[in-house]
Chain A
Amino acid sequence: MRWGVAIFPGSCDDDDVVHCLRHVLGHDVRPLWHKDPFDGECDGVVLPGGFSYGDYLRAGAMARFAPVMQGIVDFAAAGGLVLGICNGFQILCEAGLLPGALTRNESLRFVCRRVTLRVENAESPFTCAAEPGALLEMPVKHGEGRYYADALTLKQVRDHGQVLLRYVDTAGRTSDEANPNGSMQNIAGVCNRGRNVFGLMPHPEDATEELLGGVGGLTVFSSMAAEVRRRNGA
C-alpha cells in the first residue's frame, strides 16, 4: 500500500505517522509537501497532527488554503481514502470535507492523556478491521478538540452512521469523565457521508507498538489497508 502524508509548516506528528506506516506496517510512504500540487497518486492520504501555520488564527484554518489541499480535495471527491488526525481532523473540518468543528477544550487547557474509544460503526474503511463495540486505547493531545455540530448536522451525522469512535471509560460506557475535551455526545471521530474521509482527535500512530504502551491505533491503519486491498480486488 502506498500512502501520502501531507506536511504543512508546523506539522509535528508527520514523522510519527511516517514511522508507523513505514517501519511498523512496512508500507510505502510519500511525503506531500504543502507547497506542491498533489497528483492523487496514492492509495490513502494522511493529514497528520501538529500546529499547521502555528494555528495562530484557528486550528486548521490556514492549512486548507495550502496548494497541496486542492489535490487532496479532488482525491477525496474521487473516493480516495483520507485520514485526518488531530490537526488533520481540524483541517478537514475547515476544508468542509467533514461535518462539524473542533473548538477549544471545555477545560480551556491542553490535554494529554490516554483515552479509551469505542468503535460505533465497524462498517467503514477506517474501522472494518474491528468488531462493532470494540474498545481501542490511544493517546489524545490537543487544546482544541471539542467536537461541535449544530443540532441538524449532529442528527444527520448520527443517522448516517458517520460517528465511528466515541470516548468511553474502560468498561465501554460513555461518561463525562471519559470525555477529555467536552466533545458533544463523546464524539472522538467522524467520517463523511461517503465514508471515505475520516477525522479523529486521538492519535492512532502513537498506539501501534507494545513498547510504547499498546497497539490500539493499528486498527485504523489496518482497516484502511484492508479496504485498499478490497478495492484493488486482491
Chain B
Amino acid sequence: MSDATNPDPAPVTPEVVHAHGLTDHEYAGILRLLGRAPNLTELGVFSVMWSEHCSYKSSRKHLKQLPTDGPRVIHGPGENAGVMDIGDGLAVVFKIESHNHPSFIEPYQGAATGVGGILRDVFTMGARPIASLNSLRFGAIRHAKTPYLVNGVVGGIGGYGNCVGVPTVGGDIYFDACYDANILVNAFTLGLAERDRIFTGKARGAGNPVVYVGSKTGRDGVHGATMASESFSEDSEQRRPTVQVGDPFTEKLLIEACLELMRTDAIVGIQDMGAAGLTSSAVEMAGRAGSGVEMELAHVPLREQGMTPYEILLSESQERMLLVVHPESVAEVRAIFERWDLDAVVVGRVIDEPVFRVLSEGRPVADIPVAALTDAAPAYDRPARRPPRQDEIQRLDADALAQPESMTRVLEQLLDSPNLSSREWVYRQYDHYVRGNTVLAPGADAAVIRVKGTSKGLALTVDCNARYCYLDPHAGGMAAVVEAARNLSCVGATPLGLTDCLNFGNPEREDVMWQFSQAIRGMREACLALEIPVVSGNVSFYNETDGVSIHPTPTVAMVGLLEDVTRIATPWFKEEGDLVVLLGLNRDELGGSEYLKVVHGQVAGKPPEVDLALERGIQRTCRLAVEQGLLSSAHDVSEGGLAVALADCCVSHPDPEGPGAVIEIEQRGRADALLFGESHSRIVVSLKERDYGRLQDIATREDVVIAVIGEVGGDRLAINDLVRAPVQRLRNIWSTALERCVK
C-alpha cells in the first residue's frame, strides 16, 4: 500500500483532537460511542458532524421554542428547506443560509458559493428555484475595507445568480462598525414545486445504489464547516484556501439534470453536498431513514490526484449532489446526466445496519454508527446571563439631546445615510427579470412575483434591525418578524411563513447566549401573534473577531401569498390630489433610531416597543384596503421614521418627475421624535378622497387609528413648518448616496 492511500498518516493525539475543534469532553464521548479510539479520518468526520454548523449543539434547545406548525406547512425545519402549500396543487420551498466567514475572507467566491448552496437546498426538494434574496451587513461605510468587501460580495452574488438564471428580486443591506471584521452574507432562495412531487433526503431501502452526481471532488473547502464554527482572529485571511470556488454554469446544468430526473420515478432520496460534503449528505440521509450507507471512495470522481480518504470525505467542493435511486434506474440516471455532460457514478449502497461505512479500494477507512454522528451529537444548554452593561446601553436622556436647527437638513442627512438611501446601485447588478415572473422589482417594500398558470402571486422580503437587537434582543427579535410581515402587508400579501438566519457571536459567552435566547423569545411571540410558522432556518454563531461580537442579527426572510397578483400596492405617491393617510400612531420613541446614530452619534435607548395586537390590526387594515383596490400607494414607516418614509414615497417613483406632498400632522411631543422616531405599527398610504370612507370602515373594524395627514402634489415635500425640500433635490441625494460611498 502506498503512502498516498494511507488514511492515517498522523496519529490521533490530544493536539490533533483540539485542532479539530473538539473538546476533551466531546472526545471522551466519541471514545464511548465507538468503544475504541477513532482513526484520523473518523475524527475528521466527527469534527464536522459535531461542529456547531452541522449539529446546532448550542441552539437546538432554543430553536424548539419557535412555532413550526400551520395549516399550510408541508415540511418544517429538519429537511433541506421548508415547504408550504399555496393551493392549486403547488408548493413553495424556501430557506435562508449564511455564508459569513468565507465571504469575509474571499468576498466574491464566498458570496457566490453562498448563493450556490442555498439554490441546491431548494432544488434538492424537487422545486424549480424562481427567486432569490440576500441580506448583507458590512462594516462602517468609511472603513477602508468596506468598499472592497461590498464590491466583491455584490459581484459574487450577481456573478452566480445571474449565470444560473434565477432572478435576485430583493434583499437588504446595512452598514455598521460592529461588522467591520465580520460581515454577514445571508442568501435566500424560493422554489416552486408540485405539491405531490416533493423529494426528501432519506436513504431508504437496503441495497439501493447511492449515486454521486455533479462536479468532481477537489481539496477545496476541507473543513469549511469547522471554520464556520470558530471565532475569527487577525490571521483568518490565511484560511483563504478553505473557501470554495463556485461554478455557476455547472450548477445550472445540475439544476436542469436533477429537475429532469425528478420527473421520472428513479429517485428514492436526494440531498446536496453542502457543509461537510459527502460525509454530511450520506450521514444525514441515513439518519433520517434509520438506515446505513456503505461507500467506496475509489469510485468518487476526483479533480486532483493523491487525495486521502480524509480529504475526499470532508471536501466542500461545490455543485455536487448525492442520490439514492432504485437499482433498475441507474442507467436512466446516467443517461440524463450524460445529456447534461455531468458525472453520475454509483459510489455506494444503502445498508440495513445503521452505520456509516467507508472503504477505500476495499479497505475500511471509517466505520461509525450513524446515530453517533446525528442523534448523539452533543447538545448544550449553555449558560445565559443578561450583561450588566445592558442597563447602561438602554439609557437615553432625550432631554439632553439638542433639537437640530434645520429638520430639512436632517432629512437630507438621513437620505444620504447608506442605511437609508436607494439600493439601486446594488440591485442593478442582479438580473431581477429572468424567468419572466417579476411583477414588482427591487425597490418596493417587498418583491412580488407571479405564479404562472394561476392568478396568484408571491411576495418576498428580508428584514432585521440589528441595532434594536443589540439594545434589546427580545424587542429586536419581535421587530424583525413584525417588520417583515408589515412589508408583505404593504404590497397586499398575507404572510405565509418565514425562514430565519440567526447570526450571533460566540455561544460560549453568557451574554451572547442571553441575546440568542431573548431574540428567539421575541420572534416566537411575534410568530404566534401573527400566525406565521418558521419552516426552515440556519444558525451562524461565532460571528466575532478578537473577542468582539457583532450585534445580534436574527435575519428574517418572509414569504407572503397574493390570491390576485393584479391587486398589489407600490410605495410611491401617484396622483396629485390623493389623500395621504397614516395608519397607526406616532409615539415619541427615539431609542435605537438611525437619526440618533447619524445626527447625535449615539446607539442607545430602548428600541421602539412592539404592540402585537395593534400591529396585527394595522397589517390587516392595509391588506384589506389593497385587496379592495382602495389604495394608490402603501409604504411602511421604519428606519428614519415618518419623514424618511414620506420622502421615500416621493423619491422612489420610477418616473423622476413623480409628485411631492404637503403634510400637516399633529405634533404633541418633540419635533425630531415626530419626524424621525421609529415607532412600529405605522403605514403611510395614499388614496382617492372618495375611498377614504371605506378605508375608515376597515380601520374601525380592525380597531386601528387612522388620520389624514396631507395631500399628494407639487414638486416639494413639506411637513408642517419643519421640512420643506424640492423632491428633485431629495431624489438626487437619496439615489446617489450608496454609489458615492462604495464605488
Name A residues whose Cβ lies closer than 8 Å to a Cβ of B. Answer: 9-13, 15-16, 19-20, 35, 49-51, 53-56, 109-113, 139, 141, 143, 203, 205-206, 211-213
In-complex Cβ contact of A212 among B159, B163, B427, B436 (8 A): B436
**Contacts A51-B249, A51-B252 hold; do A12 and B430 have CB atoms under 8 A apart?**
no
Q: Is the Cβ of B428 less than 8 Å from the Cβ of A111?
A: yes
> B250: which A residues are within 8 A, CB to CB?
54
Contact A19 B565 (CB under 8 A): no
18 additional contacts, CB 8 Å, given A16-B435, A20-B436, A110-B430? A9-B340, A12-B165, A16-B434, A49-B434, A110-B158, A110-B428, A111-B428, A112-B429, A112-B431, A139-B433, A141-B162, A141-B434, A203-B433, A206-B436, A212-B436, A212-B439, A212-B450, A213-B441
Name the interface size band of chain B. Answer: 20 to 34
* Given the contacts A19-B452, A212-B439, A10 and B432 also touching, CB distance less than 8 Å: no
Given the complex of chains A and B, what is the CA–CA distance between A218 and B430 in angstroms? Answer: 24
Please give, as numbers and ranges, the residues of chain B lying within 8 Å of A143 by CB-CB distance: 162
Interface residues of B in 417-468 (CB under 8 A from A): 427-439, 441, 450, 452
Q: Which residue of B lies closest to A208 (CB)?
A: B436
| Alpha-carbon distance between A51 and B438 when the two chains are bound, in angstroms | 20
Cα of A54 to Cα of B162 in the assembled complex, Å: 11
Shortest CB distance B321–A (Å): 17
- Bound-state CA distance A153–B159 (Å) is 32
The closest CB in chain B to the CB of A203 belongs to B433
CA distance A50 to B439 in the complex (A): 21
Given contacts A109-B429, A203-B433, contact A212 B438 (CB under 8 A): yes
Q: Is there an interface contact between A19 and B163, defined as CB atoms closer than 8 Å?
A: no
Residues A10 and B163 in contact, CB atoms below 8 Å apart:
yes
CB contact under 8 A between A12 and B433, given known A19-B452, A113-B428, A211-B450: no
Q: How many angstroms from the CA of A233 to the CA of B428 in the assembled complex?
A: 45
Residues of A contacting B428 in the complex (Cβ-Cβ under 8 angstroms) = 109-113
Q: How far is the CB of A83 from chain B (nearest CB, A)?
A: 17
Chain B residues lying within 8 Å of A203, measured Cβ to Cβ, are: 433
CB distance from B232 to the nearest CB of A (A): 29
Q: How far is the CA of A112 from the CA of B157 in the complex (A)?
A: 14
Chain A contacts of B427 at CB under 8 A?
Answer: 112
A12 in contact with B429 given A50-B165, A54-B247, A54-B248 (CB within 8 Å): no
B700 proximal to A (CB < 8 A): no
Q: List 13 A-B contacts (CB under 8 A).
A: A9-B249, A9-B253, A10-B252, A16-B436, A19-B452, A50-B165, A51-B248, A54-B163, A54-B249, A110-B429, A112-B427, A206-B433, A211-B565
Taking the closest CB of chain A, its distance from the CB of B492, in whole angstroms, is 14
Closest Cβ of chain A to B95, distance in Å, is 22
Interface residue B353 (Cβ < 8 Å from any Cβ of A): no
- The residue that B439 contacts in the complex, of A19, A110, A211, with Cβ under 8 A, is A211
The minimal Cβ–Cβ distance linking B657 to chain A, given in whole angstroms, is 10
User: With a CB–CB cut-off of 8 A, which chain B residues contact A49?
Assistant: 434
In whole Å, how far is A141's beta carbon from the nearest beta carbon of chain B?
4
Task: Kindly list chain A residues whose C-beta atoms are within 8 Å of the C-beta of B450.
Answer: 211-212
Asked if B341 is at the interface of the complex by the 8 Å CB criterion, the answer is: yes
Chain B contacts for A139, CB-based, 8 A: 433
Q: Does B559 contact A (CB under 8 A)?
A: no
Q: Are A111 and B429 neighbours in the complex by a CB distance under 8 Å?
A: yes
Q: B566: which A residues are within 8 A, CB to CB?
A: 211
B741 CB to nearest A CB, Å = 16
Are B164 and A12 in contact (CB-based, < 8 A)?
yes
B249 touches A53 (CB 8 A): yes
Q: Which residues of B contact A111 (CB under 8 A)?
A: 428-429
On whether the beta carbons of B252 and A13 are closer than 8 Å, the reply is no
In the docked arrangement, what's the CA distance between A147 and B159, Å? 21
Tell whether, in the assembled complex, residue A141 and residue B431 are in contact, meaning their CB atoms are under 8 Å apart. yes
Residues B180-227 near A (CB distance < 8 A):
none
A-chain residues with CB within 8 Å of residue B248 when the two chains form the complex: 51, 54
B431 touches A15 (CB 8 A): no
Interfacial chain B residues near A16, Cβ < 8 Å: 434-436
Taken together as a complex, chains A and B put the C-alpha atoms of A12 and B164 apart, in Å, by 7
**Which A-B residue pairs are the 4 nearest by beta carbons?**
A12-B165, A54-B249, A16-B436, A141-B431
**Which chain B residues lie closer than 8 Å to A212 at the CB level?**
436-439, 450
Q: Which residue of chain A has its CB nearest to the CB of B165?
A: A12
CA distance A15 to B340 in the complex (A): 17
Partner of A15, one of B247, B252, B253, B436: B436
In angstroms, Cα B165 to Cα A16, docked, is 11
Indicate the member of A20, A113, A141 with the most B CB atoms within 10 Å: A141
CA gap between A11 and B158 in the complex, in Å: 16
Residue of B nearest to A141 (CB): B431
Q: Report whether A141 and B433 are in contact in the complex, using a CB–CB cutoff of 8 Å.
A: yes
In the assembled complex, the Cα of A16 lies from the Cα of B430 at a distance in Å of 17
Q: How far is the CB of B153 from chain A (nearest CB, A)?
A: 13
Alpha-carbon gap, A56 to B339, bound state (A):
20
Give complex CA distance A213, B448 in Å: 12
- Measured CA separation A35–B340 after assembly (Å): 10
A residues near B247, Cβ cutoff 8 Å: 54
From 561 to 602 in chain B, residues with beta carbon under 8 angstroms from any chain A beta carbon are: 565-566
CA distance A88 to B559 in the complex (A): 34
Give the contacting residue for A110; candidates B164, B431, B435; CB below 8 A. B431
Contact between B434 and A13, CB atoms less than 8 A apart: yes
Q: Is the CB of B439 within 8 A of A112?
A: no
Q: Which residue of B lies closest to A14 (CB)?
A: B165
Chain A CB within 10 A, most for which of B247, B253, B434: B434
A50 partner residues in chain B, CB cutoff 8 A? 165
When distances are taken between beta carbons in the complex, the residues of chain A under 8 Å from B158 are 110
Report chain B residues within 8 Å CB of A109: 155, 428-429
Q: How far is the CA of A10 from the CA of B433 in the complex (A)?
A: 17
- Cα distance, A16 to B435, chains bound together (Å): 6
Q: Which of A109, A110, A211 is the most central at the interface, judged by chain B CB atoms within 10 Å of its CB?
A: A110
Q: Once bound together, how far apart are the Cα atoms of A132 and B435, in whole Å?
A: 31
Partner of B435, one of A10, A15, A112: A15
Complex-state Cα separation, A112 to B165, whole angstroms: 13
Chain A residues whose C-beta falls within 8 Å of the C-beta of B436 in the assembled complex: 15-16, 19-20, 205-206, 212
